[in-house]
């Protein structure tokens, strides 16, 4: 029995290293959903999926992009894309009341993709996801910056606020990022 313990523990150590090797550090975190007590552990929830990560705000000139982000979510969600919003007040255009911010997302724009509770997305206070995105592809310069992350966790592209989620440029990049089926 003693001889079996060492190989088994070695096998478990190797397996756990392999299991978590595909998840980049910047996604290996749990964060709370907007106006909820539910948290998402990104690596567990989205393993093997492409991610379109967006910093959002309720009172921005680009807030209407929630509509086209939802369209992208509906169009590509079944093909392995997750749209993931991150509420932020870094540009002073997010509601101070989390419930009111959630109302804009989920009631006014009928968003069904996950939106994370309000947090910083740039600078030294940036949440760990946006710290990783910022270091890899540059921090957001305004609300509704979009980051396309491959199923392997590689930051593929960073799109500015002015690039519409349903634009040809964005659709082509998303289609290229989708997991092979």
Q: Which residues are catalytic?
A: 60
Contacts of 12 (CB under 8 A, 6+ apart): none
167 DSSP assignment: S
| Residue at token pair 């206070």 | 125
Q: Rounded to 5 degrees, what angle do the CA atoms 42, 99, 37 make? A: 40
- Please give the Cα distance from 87 to 85 (Å, whole number): 6
Token output for 105? 């997302």
- Please give the Cα distance from 135 to 132 (Å, whole number): 5
């Amino acid at each position: 029995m003693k001889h079996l313990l060492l190989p088994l523990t070695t096998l478990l150590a190797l397996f756990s290293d392999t299991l978590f090797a595909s998840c980049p550090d910047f996604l290996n975190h749990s964060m709370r959903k907007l106006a909820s007590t539910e948290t998402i552990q990104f690596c567990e929830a989205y393993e093997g999926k492409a991610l379109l990560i967006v910093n959002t705000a309720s009172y921005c000139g680009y807030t209407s992009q929630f509509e086209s982000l939802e369209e992208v979510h509906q169009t590509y969600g079944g093909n392995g894309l997750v749209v993931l919003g991150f509420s932020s007040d870094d540009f002073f255009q997010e509601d101070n009341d989390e419930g009111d911010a959630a109302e804009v997302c989920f009631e006014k724009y009928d968003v069904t993709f996950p939106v994370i509770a309000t947090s910083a997305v740039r600078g030294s206070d940036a949440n760990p996801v946006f710290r990783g995105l910022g270091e890899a592809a540059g921090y957001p310069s305004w609300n509704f910056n979009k980051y396309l992350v491959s199923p392997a966790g590689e930051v593929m592209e960073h799109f500015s606020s002015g690039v519409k989620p349903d634009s040809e440029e964005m659709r082509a990049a998303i289609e290229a990022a989708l997991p092979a089926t």
